């Protein structure tokens, strides 16, 4: 085996080792840093422990938005079958509306209130987050609208 071939072999071996090591690290990182998406119905049927972070998606229940005290806001997320109260401290996104789709990131408190650390609303009038569409479809509350 000449020198060049030998060097290549070393290089290939190093590459394989590095990519296996890298892949292992990445998969470990993925496992620890993944957020699941649940609809209010999912929560009812599945039961998620308080403190476990996840994404909650559905529609903002009309008439449920309450502001204050301080910077806090409270609203209810519903998918037609089940609903979850949400508390959030911060500025709601520009496109947040009652009756429209929303995804909130956070965790359940022990009293069943979802403590949101982040609220994402859809960013387009004609656009509904796929997550929310899916949740509504599963709850049988999705209807295609013309506009």
CA 81 to chain centre: 20
**Binds other proteins by CB under 8 A, chosen from 46, 47, 49, 68:** 68
Min CB(109)–other proteins separation in Å: 20
Q: Which stretch binds other proteins (CB under 8 A): 33-41, 43-51, 74-82, 106-114?
A: 33-41
- Residues 6 or more apart whose CB falls under 8 angstroms from that of 4 comprise none
Residue 82, φ and ψ in degrees, nearest 5: -125, 165
Does 98 engage in binding with other proteins (CB under 8 A)? no
Q: Is 33 in the site for other proteins (CB under 8 A)?
A: yes
Q: With CB under 8 A, what is the number of residues at the site for other proteins?
A: 40
DSSP string, 82-135: -EEEEEEESPPPTT--TTSEEEEEEEE-TTS-EEEEEEEE-SSTT---HHHHHH
The residues binding other proteins (CB under 8 A) are 3-4, 7, 15, 18-19, 22, 25-26, 29-30, 32-37, 55, 67-68, 70-71, 89-95, 103, 105, 123-127, 129-131, 134
């Amino acid at each position: 085996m000449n020198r060049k071939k030998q060097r290549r072999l070393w290089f290939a071996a190093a590459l394989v080792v590095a990519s296996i090591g890298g892949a292992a690290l990445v998969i470990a990182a993925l496992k620890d840093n993944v957020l699941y998406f649940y609809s209010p119905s999912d929560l009812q049927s599945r039961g998620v422990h308080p403190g476990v972070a996840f994404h909650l998606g559905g529609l903002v229940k009309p008439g449920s938005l309450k502001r204050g005290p301080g910077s806090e806001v409270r609203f209810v997320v519903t998918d037609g079958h089940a609903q979850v109260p949400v508390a959030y401290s911060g500025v709601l996104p520009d496109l947040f509306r009652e009756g429209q789709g929303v995804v909130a990131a956070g965790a359940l408190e022990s009293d069943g209130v979802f403590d949101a650390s982040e609220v994402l609303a859809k960013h387009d009038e004609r656009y509904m987050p796929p997550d929310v569409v899916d949740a509504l479809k599963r709850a049988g509350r999705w209807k295609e609208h013309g506009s």
